Amino acid sequence: MRKKRKGSEADTGENAQEEVLPTCDFKVSNVRSHYSLEDYNRLKKRCKEDVGKEPVTSFKSRLAGIATAPPCGASSSLVLPGRGLKRKIGCIDVATQMGRKNRFEDDYILGDAIGRGKFGSVWLCKSKVTGVEFACKTLQKGEETVHREVEIMQHLSGHPGVVTLHAVYEELDCFQLVMELCSGGRLIDEMIDEGQCSEQRAANIFKDVMLVIKYCHEMGVVHRDIKPENILLVNSGKMKLADFGLAMRISNGQTLSGLAGSPAYVAPEVLLGNYSKKVDIWSAGVLLHALLVGGLPFQGDSLEAVFEAIKNVKLDFHTGIWDSISKPARDLVARMLTRDVSARITADEVLRIVKPIFTKLLLNLSNCAWASMDFVLHRAHLKDICPSDQKQRIKVGAGSSEEDLNQHPSDSLSCKSEEQDECGLVDALAVAISHVKISEPKRSRLCGPTGPIEQQCSSNNLCRAF
C-alpha cells in the first residue's frame, strides 16, 4: 500500500508561532542504542491510518482525460517576478483545454521502469507521434498532494532548471505525469559513482541549484525537499530540480507549519512548526556543506539526535577539513545554515555572493570531499563493505526504494572491527536518515470547501480542470 503524502497547512495568521507540531510528531523514544527506521515507519503507518480517517476529495466525478502542459517557452529565466505567475497560469489555461479525451496509451508507449520513489514509480515512455522519450511518473489517486504536485509542476514548468511537465493523464485510479526525461540520473548517484567530481562541476551545480531555488521563490513556491536525491541531471550535464511532492505555494508574509522534508536537510524552524521559503536555503546550505567537505553537517544515531543537532550544534568551520576551504566559501555555508531565519541569506544574496567567490570556490572544492562522501554513502547502502573496501564501486540502484529504507541500517554493514562497525553504523544512520522523508499527516483537503489551502487552489486552474 502506498504511503500517504502529507500536506502542510499554510498559516497566514499572527498565531503562527503558537501552531502546535503535528499530532504525529516523529519523535521516537530512544530506548535502543541505535535507532531503527522500522520504528519510524511504524509511526508513519500510524499517522497514515489517522490520515485515512479524514475524508478524501473524490476526483472521480470530475472530468477524466488529460491536462496537457506544453513547455511554456524555452527560457523562463526571462520570466520576471510578478509577471511569471500570470504567464504560467495562462499556459495552464491553454493546456487544460487540449486533448481531454485521450488516454495515455493512445499517445505513448510505456517502457522500462527508470526510478522508484516512495510515492510513485517512474517509467520510460515514448511519444507515438514524435518518437521522443519522456519519463512517466504514476501517482495513485486519493492522495491530495498529488494534485498539488501536478499543479506546482505546471506552474514552474518551462524554467531550464525545473523538470518540465509535458502532460498529465487522469486514469481511473491514478495520474500519469509525462515529464521531460533526465537521462543523466541523480546528482547523488553521480557523487557515488564518480567518487570524485571536478571542482568546476560541483560549483556549477550549486550555482544552478540556487538559480532554480530563486526562481521557485519568485514564483511563490517553496520546495521543502532540496537534497541531491531530488536533483536530476540531463545529458548536457545540467541539473533539473525534481520531486515537487512536498512543495507548497506560499505568498509573501505567509508561513507554513507542517513537518515536511528530509531529516538531515530539514531547517530548524520546520521542527518548530513555523517557517517560510528560507527552509530551502537551509537545505541548500546542507547540500553545499556536503559538496565542500563530503559529509552532512548534522548527524546523529537517531532522528531525535539529528533534530537536536539541527537545533543546537554549533558548526566549527575552523578546524579539520575546513582548513582547506576558502573563507568566503565557509562564510557562505555559515550564512546559509544560520538558525536565525531573518539573518539567513536569501537565494538572491547567495547568488550575489557566489559570483565573486566562484573562482575561489572552484579552487577550494576538495576532490577528497567527494571521495569521502562516496565512502559514507557506500557504507549506507552496501553490504559487506568496510573502510578498506571503500573504493569498491558498486552502482546503487536508482531511487531509494522502500525496501532500502525499511531495511535496518545495521543490515547494511558487516565490518569486523567493533569500532569500525559503530562508526559505520552512525554514518550509515546519518545517511539513511537523509533519505527519509518526513511529513505531517493530512489536515486539510487540497480542494476542500474551506481553509487556506483552498484559497491557494482558487487560482489553481488544474483543480478546476479536474
Ligand X SMILES: Nc1ncnc2c1ncn2[C@@H]1O[C@H](COP(=O)(O)OP(=O)(O)OP(=O)(O)O)[C@@H](O)[C@H]1O
Q: Is 441 in the site for ligand X (CB under 6 A)?
A: no
CA 90 vs CA 85, 151, 155, 433, 439: distances in Å: 9, 13, 10, 40, 32
* Closer by beta carbon to ligand X, 235 or else 252: 235
User: What is the closest distance, in whole angstroms, from the C-beta atom of residue 464 to ligand X in the complex?
Assistant: 24
**Residue 278 cell numbers, joined:** 528560507
Regarding 264 and contact with ligand X (CB under 6 A), the answer is no
Q: Which residue among 26, 59, 119, 370 contacts ligand X (CB under 6 A)?
A: 119
Provide the angle, in degrees to the nearest 10, between the axes of the packed helices 347-364 and 327-336.
Answer: 150
In the list 65, 120, 158, 220, the residue contacting ligand X (rule: CB under 6 A) is: 120
Binding test (CB under 6 A) with ligand X, winner from 118, 214, 224, 445: 118
- Find the shortest distance in angstroms from Cβ 189 to ligand X: 8
State yes or no: residue 117 binds ligand X (CB under 6 A): yes
Is there a catalytic annotation at residue 421? Answer: no
Q: Does 381 bind ligand X (CB under 6 A)?
A: no
Minimum separation from the CB atom of position 186 to ligand X (A): 5
Give the count of residues interacting with ligand X (CB under 6 A): 25
Is 137 annotated to bind a ligand? Reply is: yes
Q: Which of residues 278-337 bind ligand X (CB under 6 A)?
A: none
How many angstroms separate the Cα of 449 from the Cα of each of 146, 265, 458? 18, 34, 11
Under the binding rule (CB under 6 A), the answer on residue 177 touching ligand X is no
405 with 435: CB under 8 angstroms? Answer: yes
- Residue from 141, 437, 442, 445 touching ligand X (CB under 6 A): that is 437
From 11, 208, 225, 280, the catalytic residue: 225
Long-range contacts (CB closer than 8 Å, 24 or more residues apart) made by 53-60? 54/442, 54/443, 54/445, 55/445, 56/142, 56/144, 56/445, 57/144, 57/445, 57/446, 57/447, 57/448, 59/141, 59/147, 59/170, 59/466, 60/141, 60/172
Asked if residue 181 binds ligand X (CB under 6 A), the reply is: yes
We find the least distance from the C-beta atom of residue 405 to ligand X, in angstroms, to be: 9
How many Å apart are CA 279 and CA 270, to the nearest integer?
7
- Asked if 160 touches ligand X (CB under 6 A), the answer is no
Greatest C-alpha distance within the chain: 64
Question: Which residues have C-beta within 8 Å of that of residue 279, sequence separation ≥ 6?
Answer: 222, 224, 261, 266, 267, 269, 270
> Which residues sit opposite 123 in a β-bridge?
113, 136
Stretch that binds ligand X, among 50-58, 108-116, 274-282, 369-377 (CB under 6 A): 108-116
User: Which of these ranges, 44-52, 78-86, 178-186, 207-215, lies near ligand X under the rule CB under 6 A?
Assistant: 178-186
Site residues (CB under 6 A) for ligand X, limited to 219-258: 229-230, 232, 242-243, 245
- The CB density around residue 74, as the number of other CB atoms within 10 Å, is 9
∠ CA 221-354-212 to the nearest 5 degrees? 25
Residue 98 Cβ, how far from ligand X at the closest point, in Å? 21
Angle at 168 between CA 165 and CA 173, to 5 degrees: 140
151 contacts ligand X (rule: CB under 6 A): no
- One symbol per residue from 398 to 417: x for binding ligand X (CB under 6 A), - otherwise; what is it? xx------------------
Query: According to the binding rule CB under 6 A, does residue 182 interact with ligand X?
Result: yes
Q: How far is residue 377 CA from its own chain's centroid?
A: 18
Cβ closest to ligand X, residue 137 vs residue 223: 137
Footprint on this chain of ligand X (rule: CB under 6 A): 114-120, 122, 135, 137, 163, 179-182, 186, 229-230, 232, 242-243, 245, 398-399, 437
Positions marked active-site:
225
